[in-house]
Amino acid sequence: MCFLSEKAIPRSLLPQGAWTLEAEDALGTLKAYAFITEREESDVYDIHRLVQLAMMNWLDKQGELGKWTEKVMRRIEEAFPLPEYDSKREWLGYLPHARHALDGQTTVDDVKVDLLFKLALSFTILGQYREAETMWRRELEGRGKLQGPSHPETLRTINNLGNAVQNQGEYEKAEAMYRRALEGWEKALGPDHPDTLTSANNLGTILSERREYEKAETIFRRALEGREKVLGPDHPDTHVNVDNLIKILEKQERHEEAGEIRLRVRKPSPS
């Protein structure tokens, strides 16, 4: 508990043995000495900041601070589900504790980097893009050290970081991220890989936001050609690309061309 945020600690975040009789006795002792308090809602606790500091100092003197830091990180990453909008109630209570545990961490390993990914995705779902950007940048630094700049996970993080800064209206930074991801995907997986085409489509979107319509059109056509070839004309990602191309043509007042593409993709297949 001394590694977590001091308010609203859910029992489900404690070690897996938190529901045993031994754990029940331990929690009872902590409550009896007022080291922790249980809220009206069952199995949710608060701990005073001074108690946390005293415990951290004791662990440090015992030479066990590093060991428990790693144990806590593994437990939080294990308990924290992959964030999705529909399961927000499930992971929202873990978010401040994961953030608090990661604050001040300078070493990187797979557990911490995976937890940074979950936090970044959580803040993205919540629309807190500046917080998401901070987590994506920390994840990117970790992935670069652990897996290298050209690893697929590193490239996905670059793309996600581009999305975070785009959502804050920082289009120039977003373009740089998307170009970096696109270049990496092309080298690692080739020009027609779905991840490469997704980066291309993202780049086209940001060029459109910056009113560079001709460049955006070129990118959208390239992505559409690749998606039709790899995913087929009826795939949802292909449809997204078609819509983007139509929009960019209409922004250039090329309505006839946009209409032709719309008719072509909606033309029923022969039975």
Residue 14 lies in a domain: yes
pLDDT of residue 88: 92
pLDDT of residue 211: 92
pLDDT band for position 176 (cuts 50, 70, 90): very high
Residue 97 lies in a domain: no
Written as six digits, the tokens of 251 are: 């922004």
Average pLDDT over residues 192-196: 90
Average pLDDT over residues 80-107: 92
Which of 80, 98, 120 is at the close of a domain?
80
Which of 46, 80, 114 is at the close of a domain?
80
Average pLDDT over residues 232-260: 90
Q: Residue 62 pLDDT more than 70?
A: yes
pLDDT 10s digits, 64-81: 999 999 999 999 999 999
pLDDT of residue 262: 80
pLDDT band for position 269 (cuts 50, 70, 90): very low
Q: How many domains does the chain contain in total?
A: 2
Instruction: Note down the domain range covering 42.
Output: 1-80
pLDDT of residue 270: 46
Which of 80, 113, 131 is at the close of a domain?
80
Query: CATH number of the domain that 28 lies in?
Result: 1.10.10
205 with 227: CB under 8 angstroms?
Answer: no
